[in-house]
Structure 1
Amino acid sequence: MKVKICGLQNMESAQYAVKQGVDAIGFVFAKSKREISLNSAKSIISQLPKGINKVGVFVNPSREMIDEVVSKTGINVIQLHGDETPEFCATLPYPVIKAFSIESVKDLERIHHYSCEYVLLDGPKGKYHGGNGISFDWGLLTSFDFKNKKVILAGGLNSENVRSAIHLKNIDMVDVSSGVETNGEKDLGKIKKFIATVKSTELIL
């Protein structure tokens, strides 16, 4: 099971996450309390190993904005968290993760309109399009046919409930942000515990 930590904003937490075994790190380029500047993202990404996926998180961006962020920072995966159309996603020459807010099976069925390899399933929208720390009914996933799409589970995950997520069918990656924070800041102890919980549980399965 792969682990993605989203909303990192400084070198210390990014490098610490890498040492603990994280597989992907998300950088937010949208209105959010976790939004990061191009210069800060570039500085952090330049120090990360090649094997770590550097994911840029966007909400309803223009193609020009995506191209600028990629060229200036070194982002190598695009995560779209807004109302981007299947057509827009298909035009991008980068690996794309399309995020969906899930409240019912109808929300899950929307993923089949998109050609991207990865989909991210998040909780209901709150103040922001994502990163609200709200989970959804994981029971919706048990009998759903994802048709070979790779699934990233997000929304309300933390070291206490992630074991249950790992046991779900068809999940390829878990994505955490607020679940490894204390007072709105990334907490190194929580990062360590979350990654260790995922990796140790995976060994048991």
Structure 2
Amino acid sequence: MKPLLKICGITHNIAGVAELQPDYLGFIFYDKSPRFFEGEISSLPLGIKKVGVFVDEKVSKIIELCIKYSLDVIQLHGNETKEYVLDLQGYLTLYCPDVLIWKVFSVDDNFDFGQLSVFEKKVDAFLFDTKGTEKGGNGYTFNWEILKNYPSKKPFILSGGIGLQEIDSLKELLKTNLPIHAIDVNSRFETEPGMKDVSALKVFIEILKHD
């Protein structure tokens, strides 16, 4: 089964990107990000789910934005704890039922997969991004060889510096039995932060679709 596609960090050409029919569009609600989103989201084509990206945000603020934007997924990109996730789950059940939670982990060569265990039964998927100076959008991949040590069957989203140059290595990775739920692209498909290169994205989607 081919992985789904998430296009993250959009602030400008939402409609143009939505025409490509990705499975997920990601909106970053972190005011220190160059891709911080605070606009309006016009109605999207059916089938596209909205992911809200948060970094150590107050639960009340997440719920407020979840309701405002009718989010489908909450992506936690900070140092959120198990207790934080349980608290968030409780409020989502009340105000935003059926919304999923993805927990992000920043990966480098020394990453310890043991830290996933406390979240194993508390989130719907993991997301692995490159450990760098920024909370996402660093523009380079981590060493995917480390994923051979992935100890879980829980689906995960592969993120971090994925662009057209990574197509061949990405295809090889997708031949493995790893439970890759989606590919997450961001900074490598931009003309400026938040403005996506639709032409390059089209090429990427076509190559993945027809392999």
| TM bucket normalised to smaller | 0.7 to 0.9
**Separation of aligned partners in 2, 1:164 and 1:144:** 18
Deviation of 1:104 (Å) = 3.5
Specify the code of the residue in structure 1 equivalent to 2:199: G
Residue equivalent to 1:34: 35
Aligned-residue sequence identity (percent) comes to 35
**Separation of aligned partners in 2, 1:183 and 1:71:** 29
**Separation of aligned partners in 1, 2:191 and 2:125:** 29
Residue equivalent to 1:48: 44
Residue equivalent to 1:68: 64
After superposition, give the CA deviation of every residue in 1:81-140 in whole Å (9 maximum; x if it has no partner). 0000122113322310100000135433222220212111000121x2111112111001
Specify the code of the residue in structure 1 equivalent to 2:25: I
Structure 1: state its 5+ residue gaps.
none
Decide whether the 8 Å contact of 1:163 with 1:198 is kept in 2: no
Residue equivalent to 1:177: 186
Task: Say which SS state the counterpart of residue 71 (structure 1) adopts.
Answer: helix
What is the 5 A alignment of 1:46-195?
A: 46-91=42-87, 92=89, 93=92, 94-104=99-109, 106-114=111-119, 115-126=122-133, 128-146=134-152, 148-168=153-173, 169=176, 170=178, 171-184=180-193, 185-195=195-205
151 and 8 in structure 1: CA distance in 2 versus 1, 3 angstrom threshold: same
**Separation of aligned partners in 1, 2:150 and 2:57:** 30
Decide whether the 8 Å contact of 1:90 with 1:116 is kept in 2: no
87 and 163 in structure 1: CA distance in 2 versus 1, 3 angstrom threshold: farther
Residue equivalent to 1:19: 19
**Separation of aligned partners in 1, 2:182 and 2:191:** 23
**Separation of aligned partners in 2, 1:71 and 1:122:** 27
**Separation of aligned partners in 2, 1:9 and 1:119:** 24
Structure 2: state its 5+ residue gaps.
93-98
Deviation of 1:162 (Å) = 3.2
**Separation of aligned partners in 2, 1:131 and 1:18:** 20
Decide whether the 8 Å contact of 2:19 with 2:45 is kept in 1: no
**Separation of aligned partners in 2, 1:175 and 1:125:** 16
Decide whether the 8 Å contact of 2:113 with 2:151 is kept in 1: no
**Separation of aligned partners in 2, 1:69 and 1:27:** 11
Size of the aligned set, in residue pairs, is 192
**Separation of aligned partners in 1, 2:172 and 2:21:** 20
RMSD between aligned residues? 1.7
